[in-house]
Amino acid sequence: MRLGRYELTLEPRPAVSAVYTVLTAVVAILLALALSSFLFLSADASLLGAYRAVFSYAFFNPRGILATVQRAIYLLFCTYAFLVPLRAGLWNIGLPGQVFAGALAAFAVPFVLRAQEQTLALPPGLLILLMVAAAAAAGAMLGGFAGLLRARLQVNEILVTMMLNSILFWLVAYMIKEGGPFMGATAEGEGFTLPAPLTAPLLRGVPFTAALALGAAVLLDLLFAKTALGYRIRAFGENPAAARYGGISPVALSLLVFLLGGAFAGLAGYHAFTAVPGVYKIPGNYGFYGDLAFYGIISALIARGSAVGAVPIAVLFAGLSLGARFAQGALHLPFGVDYALLGLLMMTFIASHALYQFRLAWRRVPSEVLQPAPTELPEG
């Protein structure tokens, strides 16, 4: 665009400093929070009061803090599930399906061993370990299926994972509703309740999955920063063609990142339904957990692929989504403030992404360019 003697253009940013990366993330989140004030316009409280309700419940109320931690663990697993394939340039939007697969597999362990009715056949510690392994394996299988199709035949992974989401959503309904195998003894439309010894052990109200989630953050960042495999994944993600010439096998890599991502989503499913006090079953509103998994997409995107960087973001989003639900009830807001926040975050992320990749250049047009160039060829 030309304005008088100046020209305004968008040009790609050559190299982006770490500070700028953090800055764009912070700006994107703050902007989404600012925009969410529109959601509070119909509230029974002042704007400040609405924000206070959200934050005080999520981060200062003892019950709220525990709930925030629980949800942050869930979101972190979902974040990794999206983040690992993203580093290889692939989109795993199959988080809900893989979460459901993990949950079904975890509950299949006590179901198969008939542990929900009689005395336990195996020590509970071993059973819990089996449940964790089954959940991770089921998530990995579902993810790996999409990864394999992508790797071998270039089948669009977005479509496959999305179809798997719908399939698993209805499969869970089949399993827990209308006389399905996992249906609870008393409640209609819910899965059976896990016997107390099989629930995830808690330390001061925090399940052991917290340690897994935090440990995975460090390990993942080490993987990407320090190992040959991590380097290959990043190289493949940034330029698949160049990576192939460099001797990196796209088939093995695509499969691997999807297996790993799916396993994390499976763990998220394990955590959500067996480690959160007050749940301990696949509830009738399991679909909500699937929707919540999409926060994992946005936190991985805003963290720009850094697992450790995603930790504070996931904690914040966990608190915000819970606080929004709380404020919704307390201030008589319409349903779905937490969903709206998800949408707003996505919007500001895209805007910040544009600013991250491009800068506005404002420069003076050299005066000789403005003069019409001679159009006739010199003679001869």
Partner 1 sequence: MWDLLARSLGASTIFLFAALGELVNQRSGVLNVGLEGLMLFGGTAAFITAQTTGSYPLGFLAGLTIGGLLGLAHGFFSITLRGDQVVSGMGLWILSFGLTTYLGSAYTGPLGLARIPSLMGLSPFFLVGVALVAITWLLIFRTSLGLAIRSAGENPAAAEASGISVVAIRYLCVTVGGVLAGLSGATYTLSYNPVWNYNFLMGWGFVSLALVFFSMWNPWILLAGASLFGIMWQLSLSPELVLPGVLSRYVWRTVPFAITIPILVVISTPWFRTRWGLAKPEALGRPYAKG
Of residues 346 through 365, those in contact with partner 1 by CB under 8 A are: 346-347, 349-350, 353-354, 357-358
**341 binding partner 1? (CB under 8 A):** yes
Q: Which two tokens stand for residue 256?
A: 């691997």
Closer residue to partner 1, CB minimum distance, 145 or 273: 145
Q: How far is the CB of 179 from partner 1 (least distance, A)?
A: 8
CB of residue 166 vs partner 1: minimum separation in angstroms? 4
Under the binding rule (CB under 8 A), the answer on residue 329 touching partner 1 is: no
Dihedral over alpha carbons 347, 349, 352, 357 (to 10 degrees): -120
Shortest Cβ 201–partner 1 spacing (Å): 33
Find the part of the chain contacting partner 1 (CB under 8 A) among 227-235, 238-246, 264-272, 340-348: 340-348
Where do runs of H (alpha helix) occur along the chain?
A: 18-35, 47-59, 62-87, 95-112, 124-153, 157-176, 209-226, 228-238, 240-245, 250-274, 286-292, 294-302, 307-330, 337-357, 367-370
Specify the residue, 153 or 370, whose C-beta has the smaller distance to partner 1.
Answer: 153
Q: Please, what is the Cα angle at 52 between 47 and 58, to 5 degrees?
A: 135
* Nearest distance from C-beta of residue 225 to partner 1, angstroms: 23
Q: Is 37 in the site for partner 1 (CB under 8 A)?
A: no
Q: Is 163 in the site for partner 1 (CB under 8 A)?
A: yes
- Is residue 160 part of the contact set for partner 1 (CB under 8 A)? yes
Q: How far is CA 102 from CA 132, 263, 276, 333, in A?
A: 9, 8, 15, 33
Return the half-sphere exposure (C-beta side, CA atoms, 13 A cut-off) of residue 374: 4
Name which position in 25, 39, 130, 282 contacts partner 1 (CB under 8 A): 39
Q: Which residues pair with 7 in a beta bridge?
A: 2, 363
Helix (H, G, I), strand (E, B) or coil at 48: helix
Classify strands 6-12 and 2-3 as parallel, antiparallel or unpaired.
antiparallel
Q: Which stretch binds partner 1 (CB under 8 A): 44-52, 68-76, 170-178, 278-286?
A: 170-178
Minimum distance from CB of 308 to partner 1 (Å)?
Answer: 22
Residue 143: left if φ>0, alpha if ψ -120 to 50, beta else—which one? alpha
Nearest approach in angstroms of CB 75 to partner 1 is 14
- C-beta closer to partner 1: residue 175 or 259: 175
Q: Does 153 bind partner 1 (CB under 8 A)?
A: yes
Which lies closer to partner 1 via its Cβ, residue 52 or residue 177? 177
The 10 Å CB-count burial string (b at 16+, else e) for 11-50 is eeeeeeeeeebeebbeebbebbbebbeebbeebebeeeeb
Give the nearest distance from C-beta 296 to partner 1 in angstroms: 11
**Residue closer to partner 1, measured from CB, 76 or 333:** 333
Within 8 A by CB and 6+ apart from 136, the residues are: 102, 263, 264, 266, 267, 270
Residues 123-142 that bind partner 1 (CB under 8 A): none
- Taking the least distance from each CB to partner 1, the nearer of 130 and 164 is 164
Cα–Cα distance for residue pair 6/364, rounded to 1 Å: 4
Residues making contact with partner 1 (CB under 8 A): 10, 39, 91, 93, 149, 153-156, 158-160, 162-167, 169-171, 173-174, 177-178, 180, 291, 294, 297-298, 301, 334-337, 339-344, 346-347, 349-350, 353-354, 357-358
